[in-house]
Each structure stands twice: as structure tokens, then as C-alpha cells.
């Protein structure tokens, strides 16, 4: 202390900054240290849309890697989603319950939020809340733009007298150095200048409401590379394999969950029939159970397939009714212990895993659940004719069988992907 008092007032004034620059921890981030990108999604979004938002964050981080700075993607815990009907322990769920995190990391380095807290403590340097423009697109129409603006909605964090911010992030109390709202219109690439500007001063950036921006290259090689990294957790694949062996007389073998079956599928028809809110929200897209049975039975004859796997949010009574109209119709019904073990999200993945391996698939129009199954089938090399089919609604007088999508060639242009040669 005596030595410090002997220093000149000028030196004492600059001492905090000199110590900061000396340690490279606090005011300036060490260029050799990794940066962390966190993101969140609108709480009301469902499971399969959140999977898509993950791909947007992953491809954005992949572009950031090109700047020479190592970035790590922090995976947000899964909250209890609105369509998860069971109530057993489904809040703050880690990603490894549903996906193989090591596989995600093959595309971009990825860690669970829990590991981020262990590394960095309960703090985030900069939180950016993404929002639209209050005035809309304006007279110029759609164009890529971003601008720091006053927040449209009241922030759910509080600013302290010290100037920093505090609040709840994924169920934990976190301190944030800065918080701001940015209005954005465009794609993930629109955020690149904003993030690249931060790397000299921060170690961690969080983008709230990541669904606000769209894919920069939907259907392109990076889209499919990110999608193919989303390998389902092994225990979910194994449960699906067990069901296929015992209920569908099909043994998919062993593998890593990435490559296509070499036998053309499981020798069964799979259908995803959305019920629930679709009956009221999209009555023109959903057939009655009787119409669905008629379409399924016609397809069974056309495709010469005896067994049918049903994936649906229909009630148990509706499934039983449909089973009485379609012979050899089966579905996965988890036991209470399996539901506690896998959760609603895990059960959904088991359904998708089984449905994707069918010889022929029929889905529900505008359903992201069906969309993910189609993506899995594309990655496995199934034909478009056996994949892009959907039920006709009961109010469509011109439709007597499931319709086939017209697919734009750009959506199918993923030939640059390298698939592994392991047997499934």
C-alpha cells in the first residue's frame, strides 16, 4: 500500500486500465480464447421449429468461424413445450437427451448451457434482443437491414445501479454486462457484421429470439450439413429399432444414424396423421378418420405393403378406431416408465425415426413434424416419390389419394454431403 501511495496521481488514474490490458481478462478479450454464442427462441415455439432455429444458429456460427476466431455454440436447455402433454420433469432438458452432441460438434463446436456456466460463470457479456421494425418493411419493401433501436417490448431483465443487467436466463440468474435491442430484417448473414464487431471486447454474446432471422441458404450445402449433424440420441434410435424388429418385422441393423438403409426401407407404409388443433385450425388439410383409412388402404394396395406404422397426436380412442379400419396398423405407445425416461420430445423422435425408414411415407400438409421426417428420408436417399406425399383433406373434392408435392430442385441439391457407409 505504501508503494502505491508513492506513485504519481497520473499513474494511479491509469492503473486499472493497465491491469486490465495486462491480464487480457475483462476489458479486452484474448484473441486466442473462444467466443461463445448463445441463443434463445420464442417460448411458444414447438419442438420441430426449435430444431430448425438451431440450424440457423449453427450455420451462423460456421460463418463466424471464417474470421479466424474460435466460436462455440451454447445449446439452450429445452423448456416444457406447450404440446408436451405429460408433466414429468420436462423443464431445462439437456440436448443430449434427444441428440448426439458429439455429432452436433462435428459441424460446429457445441456445448450444453450447463457446461457454459461451469466455464464462464453466471454471466454473459452482451445480450442482444432481436426484434422486427416497428414500422414494418417501409416503402422500400423487403431488404436486409439491422439497426439498434429502442425495445418494442419491455425487457424482462432489470438494470442495476452499476449499469449492468440481471435476470433469468434458462432458469438461472445471470448478470449481463450490456443489453440492447436490435431490429433486424433478413437472414442469419445479416447479423454477421454485428457479431464480428463484438469479438475484440466480449467473450460471450446471446441472441434472443433467434427465430427472427431466416436461413441464409435454405436447402443449400451448409443447410444440409447442419441438418445431417443432428443425429438422434443412441438410446432413442435403439428403442425405435427394437419396435421395428418386434412390430414391423424389420431389422435396421446397427449404425450411427446417418446413412440410408441399403434395402429400400422397412417394407412397411408409414403415415403421420396430425389431429389435435389441426382439426379446427386447418380443417381443409386434415381428413376424417374414415377418409384417412380409405387413403391408407388404397396406398397399401398400390404399394403392395401389408404393414402400416402410424405416428399421430390422435387420442387413444381415435387410434383404436383407425386401427379397426386399417389392418396391420401399429403405433408406438410408450409405457409410463418409457415416457419418464424419454420425455415427450424423445417419444416424438422415436416416432420420426421409425416413420423415416418406411418404404413409403405420407405426411400432413404444413406440419413441421412431417417436414423433419421428409428431411431424414432425403438424407437417407429415399426417392421424392416415396417421400413427398401428404393426406388429402376431407373437404377437397378433387383429391382421391395423398397428393405429391412439387419440389423445387434447390431443395434437393445436397449432393455435396458426404454420407457414411456404415450399415444402419
Q: Residue 267, SS3?
A: coil
Write the DSSP symbol of residue 248.
S
Determine which one of 45, 112, 114, 120 is catalytic.
45
Angle between helices 368-380 and 47-65 (to 10 degrees): 50
Instruction: Bin 304: left if φ > 0, else alpha if -120 < ψ < 50, else beta.
Output: left
317 as an active site residue: the answer is no
52/295 Cα distance (integer angstroms) = 30
417/259 Cα distance (integer angstroms) = 11
**Residue 128 φ/ψ, nearest 5 degrees:** -120, 120
327/308 Cα distance (integer angstroms) = 8
| One-character DSSP codes across 111-169 | EEHHHHHHHH-SEEEEEEEEE--TTTT-TT-S--EEEEE--SSPPSSEE-TTS-EEEEE
243/79 Cα distance (integer angstroms) = 28
367/351 Cα distance (integer angstroms) = 14
Nine-digit cell string for 421: 457407409
Q: Residue 73, SS3?
A: strand
For the annotated catalytic residues, the residue numbers are 45
Amino acid at each position: 500500500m505504501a508503494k502505491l501511495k508513492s506513485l504519481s496521481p497520473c499513474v494511479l488514474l491509469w492503473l486499472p486500465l493497465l491491469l486490465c490490458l495486462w491480464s487480457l481478462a475483462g476489458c479486452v478479450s484474448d484473441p486466442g480464447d473462444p467466443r461463445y454464442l448463445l441463443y434463445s427462441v420464442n417460448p411458444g415455439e414447438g419442438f420441430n421449429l426449435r430444431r430448425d432455429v438451431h440450424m440457423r444458429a449453427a450455420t451462423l456460427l460456421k460463418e463466424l468461424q471464417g474470421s479466424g476466431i474460435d466460436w462455440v455454440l451454447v445449446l439452450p436447455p429445452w423448456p416444457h413445450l406447450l404440446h408436451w402433454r405429460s408433466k414429468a420433469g420436462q423443464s431445462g432438458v439437456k440436448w443430449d437427451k434427444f441428440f448426439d452432441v458429439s455429432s452436433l460438434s462435428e459441424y460446429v463446436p457445441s456445448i450444453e448451457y450447463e457446461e457454459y456456466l461451469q466455464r464462464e460463470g453466471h454471466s454473459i457479456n452482451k445480450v442482444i434482443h432481436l426484434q422486427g421494425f416497428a414500422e414494418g418493411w417501409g416503402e422500400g419493401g423487403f431488404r436486409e437491414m439491422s439497426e439498434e433501436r429502442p425495445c418494442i417490448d419491455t425487457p424482462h431483465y432489470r438494470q442495476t445501479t452499476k449499469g449492468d443487467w440481471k435476470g433469468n436466463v434458462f432458469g438461472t440468474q445471470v448478470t449481463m454486462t450490456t443489453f440492447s435491442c436490435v431490429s433486424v430484417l433478413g437472414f442469419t448473414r445479416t447479423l454477421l457484421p454485428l457479431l464480428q464487431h463484438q469479438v475484440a471486447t466480449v467473450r460471450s454474446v446471446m441472441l434472443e429470439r433467434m427465430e427472427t432471422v431466416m436461413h441464409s441458404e435454405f436447402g443449400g450445402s451448409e443447410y444440409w450439413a447442419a441438418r445431417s449433424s443432428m443425429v438422434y440420441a443412441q438410446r432413442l434410435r435403439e428403442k425405435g429399432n427394437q419396435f421395428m424388429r418386434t412390430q414391423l418385422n424389420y431389422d435396421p441393423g446397427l449404425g450411427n444414424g446417418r446413412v440410408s438403409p441399403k434395402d429400400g426401407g422397412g417394407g412397411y407404409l408409414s403415415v403421420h396423421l396430425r389431429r389435435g388443433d389441426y382439426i379446427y385450425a386447418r380443417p381443409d388439410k386434415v381428413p376424417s378418420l374414415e377418409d384417412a383409412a380409405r387413403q391408407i388402404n388404397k396406398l397399401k394396395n398400390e404399394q403392395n405393403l401389408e404393414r402400416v406404422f402410424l405416428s399421430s397426436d390422435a387420442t387413444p380412442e381415435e387410434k383404436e378406431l383407425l386401427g379397426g379400419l386399417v389392418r396391420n396398423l401399429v403405433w408406438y405407445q410408450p409405457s409410463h416408465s418409457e415416457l419418464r425416461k424419454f420425455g415427450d420430445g424423445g417419444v416424438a423422435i422415436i416416432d420420426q425415426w421409425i416413420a423415416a425408414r418406411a418404404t413409403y411415407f405420407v405426411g400432413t400438409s404444413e406440419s413441421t413434424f412431417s417436414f423433419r421426417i421428409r428431411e431424414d428420408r432425403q438424407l437417407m436417399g429415399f426417392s421424392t416419390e416415396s417421400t413427398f406425399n401428404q393426406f388429402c383433406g376431407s373437404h377437397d373434392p378433387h383429391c382421391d389419394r395423398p397428393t405429391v408435392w412439387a419440389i423445387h430442385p434447390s431443395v434437393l441439391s445436397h449432393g455435396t454431403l458426404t454420407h457414411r457407409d456404415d450399415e444402419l
